[in-house]
Structure 1
């Protein structure tokens, strides 16, 4: 915890003179999704508030916001913890992803579109794989699907899925073999991109649906194996 708090103190400058609970929650959200505070970690108010230089009330409001986003959980008489996903959580996340991502692909117009952001995410994954950085491959995968959602041109949908993807990443941080989890999806994202570029919307949607079905199976397995490990570390 000392190392985490030391790094967190470096984020203090980001708050500036207009420190707000929203900014604190932004910092903590980033740290949580990056795996800085793994699932099951207790977040002590005094230490984190001191590292960021914010009041207890401000920090508690930030905790409340992140609890609403399902990234934190408050346990009576124990404190605030980074959430450990259940199998039911993973199922619900993928249900939401299927509803939103497949609908985005289905609703794309026939007029030409640029897919530069999707291409960049594919390149990011390949570059990270060459370096053997499989956690970064997972980040690139999330980037790809976030940019896919952005094709809808809806800020509300982007905001919804930002929380969904952040929650999904909680499961990534209890993975023993990140390569086994992330490697298969590199080629599948590239296949989805090719179908989109060629205007094959039905094929792209079918590929995406298959991706999500397999992702649900793999993430459920991860959750079953990883949740117990995270809880033991509390």
Structure 2
């Protein structure tokens, strides 16, 4: 597995984000973002010495941040080896999509009468379309995460927002393993637009139906792509 001591030095620029009231939660926020961006990829070992030195924090604070992210299933602690960014199993990917379908479809089903507050959703659609125009498929992936977080935010529930933040952060661990971001995300640009158009038209039931089909198709495509990538990686190690 990859060691990340050298990469950790790049965190020094994040030290200013901690301010004078440095907490384990803020450190966890920084590391969560770096993991989501692929800075620390699945399987990477996180060096306490390098990361703690780069951020200027105590070992106890860093260990508490590691504990929080382990609870969120982004990290794993291996006895006598250290802390690593989690590598998902194929069953994990299937379970993530099961959770997404339960939550996201329920959010649309539970919406009241239109109009709906769709500014964040529209911004995420525009962000994805612009990233695609530039050929930035990692940017398309990020915009897609923003789309689904904005969709869940329509429920107006801080607890649901927190749940989906963790679920979608886990999903990005799978995205970093699949070597074809364009093939993975391009098909859903139009579908995001269709869901937004339906909600703007006040057609909640149509949006719900489109989303359910979208998530089922995305699940099947993602599981197949992830399984191929995992098998290829294993073959490369033998």
Normalised by the shorter chain, which TM-score bucket? over 0.9
Paired residue for 2:125, among 122, 127, 132? Answer: 122
Paired residue for 1:98, among 93, 98, 101? Answer: 101
Secondary structure at the aligned position of 1:80 is classed as strand
Task: Give the match for residue 70 of structure 1.
Answer: 73
Task: Give the match for residue 59 of structure 1.
Answer: 62
Secondary structure at the aligned position of 2:40 is classed as coil
Are the equivalent residues in 1 in contact too, given 2:45–2:84 (CA < 8 A)?
yes
CA, structure 1 residues 232+50, in 2 after alignment: closer, same or farther (shift >3 Å)? farther
In the TM superposition, residue 82 of structure 1 has moved relative to its aligned partner by 0.4
TM-score by length of 1: 0.95
Paired residue for 1:142, among 136, 141, 145? Answer: 145
Q: Where does structure 1 differ by over 3 angstroms across 4 or more consecutive aligned residues? A: 230-233
In the TM superposition, residue 106 of structure 1 has moved relative to its aligned partner by 0.7
Per-residue Cα deviation, 1:66-90 (whole angstroms, up to 9, x for no partner): 0000000111111111011111111
Point out which structure has higher relative CO (alpha carbons under 8 A, 6+ apart).
1
Task: Give the match for residue 5 of structure 1.
Answer: 8
Secondary structure at the aligned position of 1:81 is classed as strand
Are the equivalent residues in 1 in contact too, given 2:42–2:85 (CA < 8 A)?
yes
CA-based RMSD of the aligned residues comes to 1.7
Q: Which runs of 5+ in 2 are unaligned?
A: none
Number of aligned residues: 233
Matches within 5 A, 1:107-186: 107-186=110-189
Per-residue Cα deviation, 1:28-87 (whole angstroms, up to 9, x for no partner): 001000110011101011111111111111111100000000000111111111011111
In the TM superposition, residue 10 of structure 1 has moved relative to its aligned partner by 1.1
* Greater displacement, 212-221 / 149-158: 212-221
Task: Give the match for residue 25 of structure 2.
Answer: 22
Paired residue for 1:80, among 70, 80, 83? Answer: 83
In the TM superposition, residue 117 of structure 1 has moved relative to its aligned partner by 1.2
Q: Equivalents in 2 of 1:155, 1:139: separation in Å? A: 21
Q: Equivalents in 2 of 1:139, 1:231: separation in Å? A: 29
Per-residue Cα deviation, 1:140-184 (whole angstroms, up to 9, x for no partner): 011111000000001111011111111111111112111000000
Secondary structure at the aligned position of 2:160 is classed as helix
- Residue 214 of structure 1 pairs with residue 210 of structure 2: no
